[in-house]
């Protein structure tokens, strides 16, 4: 086999939530055939509806034409079982940020795939090498970490596990380029590059709130206008999901064993309360009214 690896034409996506539907969205717009899988047909249909709505928004902004949208939507097909992914050249897992769940998916998925098919994970923090070990093809396994929201964000982190071979890396890099996105390469250390820097900043913002240094409003305004961030760190935490923020901080804390990564107790408390941010209508802001109101 040459250094270039296989040409990717059909992409499978496991998980039709926010990230998975975004990956299916950009892949179909770039002309790839997409097979979208989730635990139930209902979830797949919800994902397809999200993609359709988001593309309609792009049409109304003039980013794509209605013809582009129609063509892209025709390229996405539901995959009700893993066997429906058997034609895929690359399958990207975009399930919840939980190592046990991801490992179980890979163990069950791999027998349905062609021997030459590549497998990727969209994890934002979990060891690629460890996840690869749950597959029958660690050399064809790679981390392809898209940023949220996928259609808008320009960056994709590529993370090689210890066994990832060159052809797999080259094929993945080419795939990202065809999506019109930019890839950076990260070593396989906890949380990679973006989240290794971003999440401790968010965690520090939560400590700043917890210690009473500033209110939610003061902290977010300070970072928006004082550091020129497009959104404040607490607003961003709500957008990411406080459960996801906590799980990434736990991966950093356990993986690097440094007390500077200790999750803020206030973050833990919000997650225990089920206040996970926008998706549950409450986090550092309350989203139940017309306008987000700080909860502290």
Q: Are residues 14 and 70 in the same domain?
A: yes
Can you tell me which residue has the tokens 């240094």? 213
Residue 275 forms part of a structural domain:
yes
Q: Are residues 213 and 155 in the same domain?
A: no
Q: Are residues 202 and 224 in the same domain?
A: yes
Q: Are residues 61 and 179 in the same domain?
A: yes
Domain boundary among 186, 208, 234: 186
Q: Which CATH number does the domain housing residue 85 bear?
A: 3.40.50.720
Residue 207 forms part of a structural domain:
yes
Q: Are residues 104 and 239 in the same domain?
A: no
Q: Are residues 38 and 152 in the same domain?
A: yes
The series of mean pLDDT values per 10 residues for the chain, 296 residues long, is 78 97 98 98 98 98 97 98 98 95 98 98 96 98 96 97 97 98 97 96 98 98 98 97 95 96 98 97 96 96
Which residues form the domain of 210?
Answer: 195-294
Q: Are residues 116 and 256 in the same domain?
A: no
Residue 3 forms part of a structural domain:
no
Q: Which two tokens stand for residue 182?
A: 């930019």
Domain boundary among 159, 186, 213: 186
Q: Are residues 41 and 132 in the same domain?
A: yes
pLDDT at 3 (0 to 100): 64
Q: Which CATH number does the domain housing residue 219 bear?
A: 1.10.1040.10
Query: What is the count of structural domains for the chain?
Result: 2
Active site residues: 124, 145, 157, 195
Q: Are residues 43 and 146 in the same domain?
A: yes
pLDDT at 5 (0 to 100): 78
User: Kind of pairing, strands 155-160 and 141-146?
Assistant: antiparallel
pTM of the predicted structure, to 2 decimals: 0.92
Residue 5 forms part of a structural domain:
no
DSSP labels, 89-108: SEEEE---S-HHHHHHHHHH
- Residue 124 CA to residue 147 CA, distance in Å, equals 9
Whether the Cβ atoms of residue 287 and residue 278 lie closer than 8 Å to each other: yes
Half-sphere exposure of 277 (CA within 13 A, CB side): 16
Residue 229 forms part of a structural domain:
yes
Residue 4 forms part of a structural domain:
no
Query: CA 87 → CA 90, 108, 117, 142, 188, distances in Å?
Result: 9, 16, 9, 19, 29
Q: Are residues 141 and 35 in the same domain?
A: yes
Q: Are residues 105 and 247 in the same domain?
A: no
pLDDT at 213 (0 to 100): 98
pLDDT at 1 (0 to 100): 44
Residue 2 forms part of a structural domain:
no
Crossing angle for the helix pair 194-210 and 216-226, nearest 10 degrees? Answer: 140
Q: Are residues 39 and 166 in the same domain?
A: yes
Residue 142 forms part of a structural domain:
yes
Domain boundary among 151, 186, 221: 186
């Amino acid at each position: 086999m040459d250094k270039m690896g296989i040409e990717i034409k059909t992409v499978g996506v496991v998980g039709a939530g926010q990230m998975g539907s975004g990956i299916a969205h950009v892949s179909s717009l770039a002309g790839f055939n997409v097979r979208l899988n989730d635990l139930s047909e209902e979830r797949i249909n919800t994902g397809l509806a999200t993609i359709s709505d988001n593309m309609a928004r792009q049409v109304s902004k003039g980013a794509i034409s209605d013809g582009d949208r129609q063509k892209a939507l025709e390229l996405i097909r539901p995959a009700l079982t893993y066997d429906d992914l058997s034609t895929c050249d690359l399958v990207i897992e975009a399930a919840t940020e939980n190592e046990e769940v991801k490992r179980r998916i890979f163990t069950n998925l791999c027998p349905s795939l062609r021997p030459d098919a590549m497998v990727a994970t969209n994890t934002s923090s979990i060891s690629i090498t460890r996840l690869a070990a749950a597959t029958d093809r660690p050399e064809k396994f790679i981390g392809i970490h898209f940023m949220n929201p996928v259609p808008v964000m320009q960056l994709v982190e590529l993370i090689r596990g210890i066994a990832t071979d060159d052809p797999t890396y080259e094929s993945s890099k080419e795939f990202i380029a065809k999506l019109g996105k930019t890839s950076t390469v990260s070593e396989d250390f906890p949380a990679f590059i973006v989240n290794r820097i971003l999440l401790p900043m968010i965690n520090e913002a939560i400590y700043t709130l917890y210690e009473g240094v500033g209110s939610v409003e003061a902290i977010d305004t300070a970072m928006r206008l004082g550091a020129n961030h497009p959104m404040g760190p607490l607003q961003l935490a709500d957008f990411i999901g406080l459960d996801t923020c906590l799980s990434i901080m736990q991966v950093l804390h356990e993986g690097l064993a440094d007390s500077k990564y200790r999750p803020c107790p206030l973050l833990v408390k919000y997650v225990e309360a089920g206040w996970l941010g926008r998706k549950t209508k409450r986090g550092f802001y309350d989203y139940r009214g017309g306008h987000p109101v700080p909860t502290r």
